[in-house]
Structure 1
Amino acid sequence: MVSNEVSGRSGPVPPKGSGVAEDPSRANAIVAVLAVSGVIVALMQTLMVPLLPVMPRLLGTSAADASWTITATLLTGAIANPVYGRLGDLFGKRRMLLVSGYFLAGGSLICALSSSLVPVIAGRALQGLGLAIIPLGISIMRDLLPAKRLIPAMALMSSSLGIGGALGLPIAAIVAQNFDWHVLFWGSLVATALIITLVAVVVPESPVRGEGSFDVPGAVALSAGLAALLLAVSKGSAWGWSSATTLGLFGGAVIVLLAWGWWETRIPAPLVDLRTSSKRPVLLTNIASMVLGFAMYAMSLIVPQLLQLPKETGHGLGQSLIATGLWMAPGGLVMMVASPFAGRLIAARGPKVSLVTGAGIMTAGYVMAQGLMSTPWGLLIVSAVISLGVGFAYAAMPALIMSSVPASEGAAANGLNTLMRSIGTSTASAVIGVVLANMTVAFGSSAVPSLTGMRVGFVIGAGAALAACLLALTIPVRRPQAAGAVEATGPVGVTGPVGVTGPVGVTAAVATTENAVPSQRRVGVSATTEPSRAAAASS
């Protein structure tokens, strides 16, 4: 880190980006293309939500089997994030981003041409392999953008997950209600083809590369462990939490993931560097991300049900599917508006402050819900406030991760962080689902979630957001060093003072403050912003 005394200015030193895209118009184009790509990817996750109640009839199957059209995307997306991240670090982030796009396109085409369960599940699984576009995009931004553009661009890209998710529900509902359901997937195919083309034309390849080989055994073990864990979490309520299948999957996941962790700490080129990931800033940020994912998804599960329940229940608001989507859509717009303000807060006060602020706002939103559940306008306010908090919190997480890992491991670290959010959302689905399924009232010949169940769900969401806030407060803050005391690692392990050019003609990069995202070298050599693992171990 470098103190402000070096520059003679007060306030935080802006983070250093690589500056590969120094031209403002080119930087704007890169940010726009990557942000649009993130929104489209997030839209893919909500495509099936309006269709799920009618999928058994459309595909000639049972409701339990139809739910695999959601579960398949969840599973493959969770696995793809860390695996694609490591492949991106080794072989090129833009290259893997395009591969993700090809999987999205292929999955969309299969679903568009299919009317039976198995091919639709296969297509949705392929779409899940494309969800790594968001963490890969954040890592590309770190490698390409100049310092002044980096933080707001990363904030926008990180928030695109929430933006696309909020806007996807009304769009999908309108299309599903007025057109054949296959139109959704033809539309996603066209959108994916567009982002593939734009990325190929506008976004250059990152010059930053990691070292070593791809850890195939680690990738297989992580995939197996995650698949078992997420299957148990997402299907446990249907199979029974005490069933042999559910307990077996939980037990198998624990054994496999422990074995994976043992393996990762004993090979020179791991899939995920657990030594880096175990550092307090990275570890606490990832745990907070998981809890925030839970808090964010709780709203997405409760508010739509409350809006759609019949008024005759006494607490339902009787809104149609399209109306429900439109009431929820402003939340995505709030996230979009919040991202530049979050970027400014991060630049001025640091990502930790933005994360604490966002989690605090989310907590307030859930508390407000207890008095605003009786009207659609009240729930719109609740969802907007929570979404505002999500915008600030999600914008902070990549900045916290990037400031604590080497540039050559950025994509893998971002993929792991995105995976932690996915685990949080899956857990929220299971927990809130159990609450709403067990706290019901009779309505005709069926049972529907009770008002008390809804209130308990909002309390759980508030507790998760508050827990994330408290976790964020424990994330360590880096202290600036004295001027002249800063050293940066050169590309061949040579250290020198700030601004000194190394023996191969590459100026050393420096991480600036606790607010900063470390920079990296902008030539085609492997670069890090901290000493190598071997050097760190020897010291």
Structure 2
Amino acid sequence: MVAERQRRTVRGHWAVTFTVLTVAVSSFTLLQSMVVPVLGLIADEMDTDMSTATWVLTAYLLSASICTPLLGRVGDVVGKQKMLVVTMLALTLGSLVAALAGNIWVLILARVLQGAGGGVLPLAFGIIRDEFPERHRASALSIIAALASVGFAVGIVVAGPIVEGLSYHWLFWFPMIATGLAAVATALFVPESPVAERSRLPLAPAVLLAAWLVALLLGISRGNEWGWSSPLVLSLLAGAVVLAVGWVAVENRARVPMIDMQMMRRRGIWTTNLVGGFVGFGMFSSFGFLPQFLQTPEAAGYGFGASISESGQILVPSAIASFLVGFVTAPLVKRLGARVVIVSGTLMTGVAFAAIALWHDAVWQIVAATSLQGVGNGLVFGSLAGVVIASVPASQTGVASGMNANIRTIGGSIGSAVMAGVVTAHVGLGGLPAEGGYVLGFALIAGGMVLAAVAACAIPDTRGPASPTPRTVPAPRRTVAPSRVLAPGSSV
């Protein structure tokens, strides 16, 4: 009996669970960006063109966009710990296949498997809400959210040394080892969260959600190559609109909706989703093109001729700033309110992008601007998760936070496509992009962050994630059985 009690104490201890979640989230976020600086190298190694090689990134984003909300919803229904193990195993298998891939198409397939790791974020947020003591919950959410933000920058930073010291295959071997260990640790030490809503999974809404996301992101990601006015791209974008409308209609009629549209209309949800979309627009597109800007030879009239490693090192202060801010975001939200913190963060990021557009003749200018961006991103991402979780009942934590993360990915896909279109539309000396294209692109991102700040003004002025109670949170609409709201740390 004593041994059993000790086993439960170790297994359910929030600090152990938090350690496992940080490894899981870090592995997923690193995989988002580590391939960005080496896509050209992958194209050469696998004897393919750059257009095909970009599918190594596009396939990952498409898969993550679909799997993030779906796996978050499955976790709400069947158990978050079980689905976290499944997600970690998908990341492990995808990384193994990617490391052994002998041609570009096998590598792209492996990246689709890795995209299932998108479920890590909503599952981690849900586990924190269910299992952590209230006094630690806000800080844990902020740190995990900051990891999701900083991981993209860190992936770009570490890619260079890994490739130059070993090979690009180790960009997948290392995550495979980490996610494999995380899967075992999750099974052993992370307690199963209470299932607040038992129901069958809504198949039709899931298929329609996947269909319109694929059509939208495929059209956006290939618009520059196929032509924005081409029948194929126009058909994809039009089809995305039609499928999205159909998805909303089916969700509204479904007896058990996958995503409650009433939930999506809540002030704390639609405002954070709007802000998340704009921030994703800026984060993905900026870090996707800053390395290219830094690696441009000085003979072009701009750039610094940096290597892959050197361009990553320039972004180190940004990654550090974003991560460290995650530790202080929760106290700031508690003292100032989420609205003030998020508005301040989006404005900082907007100023940073405007500074890059105006001043980029010296490395210190880039370092100063990207460091300010890191602080802004840390404030925003560290606060959004708490607002989302405070706005929904426990049974919808996974799907609500998953959709917020998913909308950031969609925003990032749109931002990358827009940035690519602007930069490649202006050609300078030697066929390289003209400096004016980068200037206009970063100015557009700055404008997007101003819009994010405007949207953030409508965010509820919460002071941290609230504990779910039947008195303050309405039950989900049209469920098969009444939801049973459990206190954090409870078990079924």
The question of a shared fold, defined as TM-score above 0.5 by the shorter chain, is answered with: yes
Q: CA deviation at 1:208?
A: 4.0
Alignment counterpart, residue 225 of structure 1, candidates 212, 224, 244 = 212
Secondary structure class of the residue paired with 1:50: helix
Equivalences, count: 472
Residue number in structure 1 paired with 2:135: 148
Residue number in structure 2 paired with 1:519: 467
Q: CA deviation at 1:130?
A: 1.1
Give the Cα–Cα distance (whole angstroms) in 1 for the partners of residues 389 and 262 of structure 2. Answer: 15
Q: CA RMSD in A?
A: 2.1
Residue number in structure 2 paired with 1:43: 30
User: For the structure 1 residues 452 and 534, does the alpha-carbon distance in structure 2 shift closer, same or farther, using more than 3 Å as the test?
Assistant: closer
Alignment counterpart, residue 436 of structure 2, candidates 452, 457, 465 = 452
Give the Cα–Cα distance (whole angstroms) in 2 for the partners of residues 384 and 22 of structure 1. Answer: 41
Residue number in structure 2 paired with 1:76: 63
Residue number in structure 2 paired with 1:418: 405
Give the Cα–Cα distance (whole angstroms) in 2 for the partners of residues 279 and 132 of structure 1. Answer: 23
Q: Which whole-Å deviations, capped at 9, do the CAs of 1:322-379 have from their partners, x for residues lacking one?
A: 1001111221111111011111111222222221111111122123224430112211
Give the Cα–Cα distance (whole angstroms) in 2 for the partners of residues 99 and 25 of structure 1. Answer: 19
Q: CA deviation at 1:454?
A: 1.8
Q: CA deviation at 1:439?
A: 2.0
Residue number in structure 2 paired with 1:257: 244
Q: Percent identity?
A: 30
Give the Cα–Cα distance (whole angstroms) in 1 for the partners of residues 9 and 264 of structure 2. Answer: 31
Give the Cα–Cα distance (whole angstroms) in 2 for the partners of residues 261 and 528 of structure 1. Answer: 28
Residue number in structure 1 paired with 2:482: none
Give the Cα–Cα distance (whole angstroms) in 2 for the partners of residues 320 and 528 of structure 1. Answer: 58
1:466 aligns with 2:450: yes
Contact 1:170–1:326 (8 Å) recurs in 2: yes
User: For the structure 1 residues 210 and 458, does the alpha-carbon distance in structure 2 shift closer, same or farther, using more than 3 Å as the test?
Assistant: same
Contact 1:519–1:529 (8 Å) recurs in 2: no
User: For the structure 1 residues 402 and 528, does the alpha-carbon distance in structure 2 shift closer, same or farther, using more than 3 Å as the test?
Assistant: farther
Give the Cα–Cα distance (whole angstroms) in 2 for the partners of residues 392 and 310 of structure 1. Answer: 34
TM-score (norm 1): 0.84
Q: Structure 1: which 5+ runs fail to align?
A: 1-20, 478-513, 522-526
User: For the structure 1 residues 359 and 271, does the alpha-carbon distance in structure 2 shift closer, same or farther, using more than 3 Å as the test?
Assistant: same
Secondary structure class of the residue paired with 2:206: helix
Contact 2:72–2:123 (8 Å) recurs in 1: yes
Give the Cα–Cα distance (whole angstroms) in 2 for the partners of residues 46 and 288 of structure 1. Answer: 21
Alignment counterpart, residue 288 of structure 2, candidates 282, 298, 301 = 301
TM-score (norm 2): 0.92
Contact 2:294–2:305 (8 Å) recurs in 1: yes
1:266 aligns with 2:236: no
Give the Cα–Cα distance (whole angstroms) in 2 for the partners of residues 528 and 200 of structure 1. Answer: 34
Given residue 475 of structure 1, which amino acid in structure 2 is its aligned partner? I
Return structure 1 stretches of 4+ with deviation > 4 angstroms: 21-25, 533-536
Give the Cα–Cα distance (whole angstroms) in 1 for the partners of residues 390 and 28 of structure 2. Answer: 25
User: For the structure 1 residues 89 and 315, does the alpha-carbon distance in structure 2 shift closer, same or farther, using more than 3 Å as the test?
Assistant: same
1:136 aligns with 2:123: yes
Q: CA deviation at 1:535?
A: 9.6
Give the Cα–Cα distance (whole angstroms) in 1 for the partners of residues 174 and 472 of structure 2. Answer: 42
Q: CA deviation at 1:75?
A: 0.6
Alignment counterpart, residue 385 of structure 1, candidates 349, 372, 375 = 372
Contact 2:357–2:438 (8 Å) recurs in 1: no
Q: Compare 23-32 and 194-203 and name the one that shifted more.
A: 23-32
Q: Compare 165-174 and 74-83 and name the one that shifted more.
A: 165-174
Q: CA deviation at 1:286?
A: 0.6
Correspondence 1:81-480 to 2 at 5 A: 81-443=68-430, 447-477=431-461
Residue number in structure 1 paired with 2:484: none
Q: CA deviation at 1:319?
A: 0.8
Contact 1:50–1:176 (8 Å) recurs in 2: no
User: For the structure 1 residues 253 and 191, does the alpha-carbon distance in structure 2 shift closer, same or farther, using more than 3 Å as the test?
Assistant: same
Q: CA deviation at 1:246?
A: 0.5
Secondary structure class of the residue paired with 2:432: strand
Contact 1:334–1:388 (8 Å) recurs in 2: yes
Give the Cα–Cα distance (whole angstroms) in 1 for the partners of residues 75 and 270 of structure 2. Answer: 22
Give the Cα–Cα distance (whole angstroms) in 2 for the partners of residues 148 and 345 of structure 1. Answer: 15
Q: CA deviation at 1:273?
A: 0.7
Q: CA deviation at 1:28?
A: 2.4
Q: CA deviation at 1:278?
A: 1.1
Max radius of gyration: which structure?
A: 1
Q: Which whole-Å deviations, capped at 9, do the CAs of 1:106-142 have from their partners, x for residues lacking one?
A: 1111112221122111111000011221221111101
Contact 1:352–1:475 (8 Å) recurs in 2: yes
Q: CA deviation at 1:163?
A: 1.9
Given residue 67 of structure 2, which amino acid in structure 1 is its aligned partner? A
Q: CA deviation at 1:520?
A: 3.6
Secondary structure class of the residue paired with 2:37: coil
Secondary structure class of the residue paired with 1:268: coil
Contact 1:230–1:423 (8 Å) recurs in 2: yes
Correspondence 1:57-68 to 2 at 5 A: 57-68=44-55
Contact 1:408–1:528 (8 Å) recurs in 2: no
